[in-house]
Amino acid sequence: MNELMDYIQKYLSSDQTPGGAGNIFWATVYILLVFGGLSVAVIAMNWLERKILAHMQVRLGPMRVGPHGLLQPIADAIKLLLKEDIIPAEADKVIFWIAPFIVVLAAFTVFVVVPFGPTHAITDMNIGILFMLGVSSLSVLGIVTAGWASNSHYPLIGALRSSAQMVSYEVAMGLAVVSAIMMTSLETGTGTLSMIGIVRAQEAQGIWFVFKFFPLGLIAFGMFAIAMVAETNRAPFDLPEAESELTAGFHTEYSGFRWSLFFLAEYSAMIAVSSIAVTLWLGGWLRPFPSVHGPSIAIPHIWPPADPSAPTGALDFVFALCPGISFLLLGAMCFYNVQRMPKHPLFRVQTMGLAGFGAVLALIGLIMFVPAVRDRVEDIFWFSAKVAGFMYLYIWYRGTFPRYRFDQLMKVGWKVLLPTGLALLICTAVWAMHVEVWYAVVVPLWQWLVSLL
Amino acid sequence: MNPPVATPFFFYFLAATMIIGGILVITRKNAIHSAMALITALLAQAALYLMLYAPFVAGVQIILYAGGIMVLFLFVIMLINLERNMKERQFNKQWLVGGAAALALGGLFVSVYVKTTGGKELFPEGHVTYGEGQNTQQIASLLFDRSAGQYMFAFEIASLLLLVAIIGAVVMAKKRI
């Protein structure tokens, strides 16, 4: 028993990712954890999207299945699994069958390199970001083949439309990414493509890359933020699945389980591209203001940080409490709604369920205050919180922006984002290599251009 | 120390995938099936690059070939009429010439292999193990380093050639620009 504890202890205090340590067992554990976490995130996203959209449109959203519709995603999943699975008679059966799996595989494989923390990644690759872009570009193949294999006109046209969109926006995305990668080479001399290395570079330079080279980093981030919405086929660029105007696009002929695979892939792809954005520009697992520690304070003895060498600034302490506090707040929200539930006896089970859910959330919050846990989950918490911010943005876009027309979409991709990206790349290189050239040439040029207007 | 990735099992697995994929490319009647088989072969090739400690080349292989060029292939195949292709005869009668050429190439491979390794070991040990972590940086310094870089001119000229080809394609395809 002691040996087992020692063994687990050794890996909990390891300073390597399981892939880096070459431990297949722990890598498997991490893969299962990431897969489970993703599935929970997709379920949560499904519920949150409907709820938030509903509240934006002054509706209630799902309210029937479970308290405040909390069990709605599960009901939907069961419905999708039980639905009749139709394959069109003239369809190419093998490819029709394979296509959703290609999309799902591409969407899930990228999480191998996503750094939830300095040691909390399945593995760290020398080509991390390249791997993510490459594997996620494979999902286009799944979409194209899905449209073709259906052997029907709407899916075929839809597939051509969505693959044209994804291929176009991949270019803009790549250019934005390259400008961020250039920034990693400052101060250390050699840049890196490794996802963990990129966050480490931001840590070493003491700045998130959004704020680096002031307008440049922000522009690159903005470009990526636009391109990633188009890349994941979400509103306002959701032409591939504009069911109200253009039929449903490439998955028109899909139903039941296979359709739910596309759904799953779409949401996990959204999380994947958001994690790229978080890693490259928003400091990955770093908490806000990572280099500011605040005045040194004596943390009460009952609550020492697990790592004695950790900085003991007031800000460090406050930020370390954030994960626990946010879960406690979620729990408190549940209890507030428990008290607001209808008092009719028919609602008793739902009320108890909601109270139980709140209790679980509060318990998780309390566990996160334990120093040993706190120090190890803080990085995961900040990473997930930033990704969650992006998820909210996706829903917000969907609730507010009207859909683009296809020619407008192509115009934005090729005539706005691509030239901006190229200019951005040159500007970043000039600023990084020769700051004096930047101030001597580019700034006056810009001022002259502005004065012309 | 990490267990080595380049084990015979992985090599045989990937090589078999590539060969089966390659055979399927030429034997399938349906062009889309051929393209899918080609993608499988290209992905296996990317994995082989990984085994050779060249992760950057592997990543570029996935992005360019599997993700980029093959999508364009599929695009084009979808737009042509496959019905006619299905009815046509797939192979012509030059199997004698083809077989001879394949035998000659295979013989060349075998002779090179026997000459370099002495025909003793399939996986010669004791070779240099490259730092996997440095592959990208090494390629960059080979291309762009002021002192060690020797391929920059060739690299830039190649990109210029591609640009000319793109412009040429646009000029030829568009009637009015």
The identity of residue B146, as a single letter, is: R
Looking at residue A393, its pLDDT comes to 93
The count of structural domains within chain A is 3
Same domain? B83 vs B139: no
Point out the domain boundary residue: A27, A62, A78. Answer: A78
In angstroms, how far is CA A13 from the centroid of its own chain? 27
Point out the domain boundary residue: A402, A420, A437. Answer: A402
Query: How far apart are the C-alpha atoms of A393 and A380, rounded to whole Å?
Result: 20
CATH label of the domain that carries residue B48: 1.20.120.1200
Question: How does the average pLDDT of chain B come out, rounded?
Answer: 81
Contact residues, chain A, for B36 at CB < 8 Å: 95, 98, 145
User: Does residue B36 belong to any structural domain of this protein?
Assistant: yes
Nearest residue to A127 (alpha-carbon basis) of A115, A137, A113, A139: A113
B99: pLDDT strictly greater than 70: yes
Point out the domain boundary residue: B72, B88, B104. Answer: B88
Same domain? B71 vs B138: no
Same domain? A278 vs A393: no
The count of structural domains within chain B is 2
The pLDDT averaged over each successive group of 10 residues in chain A (453 residues) is: 75 74 83 92 92 92 87 90 85 88 91 89 86 89 87 84 87 91 79 87 87 88 92 83 72 85 91 93 87 73 62 78 92 92 87 92 91 84 93 92 88 92 90 80 85 84
Please, how many CA atoms are within 13 Å of residue A401, restricted to the half-sphere of its CB? 16
User: Under a CB-based contact definition with an 8 Å cutoff, are residues A219 and A416 in contact?
Assistant: no
Q: What DSSP letter does each residue of B16-45 carry, written as one string?
A: HHHHHHHHHHHH-SSHHHHHHHHHHHHHHH
User: Does residue B84 belong to any structural domain of this protein?
Assistant: yes
Same domain? A168 vs A196: yes
User: Under a CB-based contact definition with an 8 Å cutoff, are residues B139 and B56 in contact?
Assistant: yes
User: Does residue B94 belong to any structural domain of this protein?
Assistant: no
Query: How far apart are the C-alpha atoms of B141 and B145, rounded to whole Å?
Result: 4
Point out the domain boundary residue: B69, B88, B107. Answer: B88
For residue A132, CA distances in Å to A114, A194, A275, A276 come to 8, 10, 10, 8
Distance from CA of B172 to the nearest CA of A (A): 20
Is residue A123 classed as helix, strand or coil in its secondary structure? coil
Contact assignment for B55 to A138 by CB distance below 8 Å: no
Same domain? B23 vs B82: yes
In A282-313, alpha helices (H): none
A304 token code pair: 């020492």
Same domain? A262 vs A117: yes
In angstroms, how far is CA A86 from the centroid of its own chain? 32
Looking at residue B109, its pLDDT comes to 87
Where in the sequence is the domain holding B169, given as residue range(s)?
134-177
Query: How far apart are the C-alpha atoms of A228 and A133, rounded to whole Å?
Result: 11
Looking at residue A189, its pLDDT comes to 66
Same domain? B84 vs B27: yes
Same domain? A57 vs A179: no
Is the pLDDT higher at B159 or at A373? Answer: B159
Contact assignment for B55 to A134 by CB distance below 8 Å: no
Is residue A113 classed as helix, strand or coil in its secondary structure? coil
A261 token code pair: 């695979």
Same domain? B84 vs B6: yes
Point out the domain boundary residue: A78, A111, A128. Answer: A78
Contact assignment for A145 to B30 by CB distance below 8 Å: no
Same domain? A132 vs A249: yes
User: Under a CB-based contact definition with an 8 Å cutoff, are residues A116 and A379 in contact?
Assistant: yes
Looking at residue A111, its pLDDT comes to 92
Same domain? B78 vs B23: yes
Contact assignment for A144 to B60 by CB distance below 8 Å: no
* A157 close to B (CB below 8 A): no
* A95 close to B (CB below 8 A): yes
- What are B11-45's pLDDT values in tens digits? 889 999 999 999 999 888 888 888 899 999 999 99
Query: How far apart are the C-alpha atoms of A278 and B42, rounded to whole Å?
Result: 31
For residue A229, CA distances in Å to A47, A270, A274, A399, B142 come to 20, 8, 10, 14, 36
Same domain? A132 vs A44: no
Query: How far apart are the C-alpha atoms of A99 and A252, rounded to whole Å?
Result: 13
* A138 close to B (CB below 8 A): yes
Query: How far apart are the C-alpha atoms of B177 and B174, rounded to whole Å?
Result: 6
User: Does residue B153 belong to any structural domain of this protein?
Assistant: yes
User: Under a CB-based contact definition with an 8 Å cutoff, are residues A182 and A428 in contact?
Assistant: yes
| B156-162 mean pLDDT | 92
Contact assignment for B67 to A98 by CB distance below 8 Å: no
- Chain A residue whose CA is closest to B53: A126
The DSSP 8-state label assigned to residue B111 in this structure reads H
Same domain? A146 vs A246: yes
Q: Chain B residues contacting A, CB < 8 Å?
A: 1-3, 30, 32-33, 36, 39, 55-56, 58-60, 62-63, 66-68, 70-71, 74-75, 78, 132-137
Phi, psi values for residue A255, rounded to 5°:
-145, 165
* A162 close to B (CB below 8 A): no
B82 token code pair: 């496959």
Residue A181 contacts by C-beta under 8 Å, 6 or more apart in sequence?
A129, A191, A192, A193, A198, A280
Same domain? A386 vs A434: no
A275 token code pair: 């994690």
User: Under a CB-based contact definition with an 8 Å cutoff, are residues B35 and B58 in contact?
Assistant: no
Same domain? A266 vs A279: yes
Contact residues, chain B, for A193 at CB < 8 Å: 56, 136
Q: Determine which helix (DSSP H) or strand (DSSP E) holds A374, and give its type and residue range.
A: helix A371-400
A210 token code pair: 């959004």
Contact residues, chain B, for A170 at CB < 8 Å: 67
Same domain? A323 vs A355: yes
How far apart, in Å, do the first and last CA atoms of chain B sit?
Answer: 60
Query: How far apart are the C-alpha atoms of B96 and B102, rounded to whole Å?
Result: 10
The identity of residue A426, as a single letter, is: I
In B66-94, alpha helices (H): 70-79, 82-87
Same domain? B81 vs B141: no
* A140 close to B (CB below 8 A): yes
Percent of chain B with pLDDT over 90: 24
Residue A404 contacts by C-beta under 8 Å, 6 or more apart in sequence?
A236, A237, A239, A412
Query: How far apart are the C-alpha atoms of A427 and A443, rounded to whole Å?
Result: 11
Query: How far apart are the C-alpha atoms of A147 and B78, rounded to whole Å?
Result: 10
Residue A157 contacts by C-beta under 8 Å, 6 or more apart in sequence?
A147
Is the pLDDT higher at A315 or at B101? Answer: B101
Phi, psi values for residue A360, rounded to 5°:
-65, -45
Point out the domain boundary residue: B88, B116, B144. Answer: B88
* A388 close to B (CB below 8 A): no
Same domain? A350 vs A439: no
User: Under a CB-based contact definition with an 8 Å cutoff, are residues B37 and B27 in contact?
Assistant: no
Interface test with A, best of B29, B30, B62 (most A CBs within 10 A): B62
Which ipTM was obtained for this model?
A: 0.81
Same domain? B138 vs B83: no
User: Under a CB-based contact definition with an 8 Å cutoff, are residues A151 and A92 in contact?
Assistant: yes
User: Under a CB-based contact definition with an 8 Å cutoff, are residues B22 and B32 in contact?
Assistant: no
* A92 close to B (CB below 8 A): yes
Same domain? B84 vs B142: no
Looking at residue B132, its pLDDT comes to 54
Nearest-by-Cβ selection for B136 from A135, A145, A193? A193
Looking at residue B122, its pLDDT comes to 55
Nearest-by-Cβ selection for A127 from B2, B30, B56? B56
Contact residues, chain B, for A159 at CB < 8 Å: 78
Reported confidence tier of residue B1, pLDDT bands at 50, 70, 90: very low
Where in the sequence is the domain holding A65, given as residue range(s)?
1-78
Same domain? A248 vs A162: yes
Contact residues, chain A, for B57 at CB < 8 Å: none
The label of the residue with tokens 């799953």 reads: A264
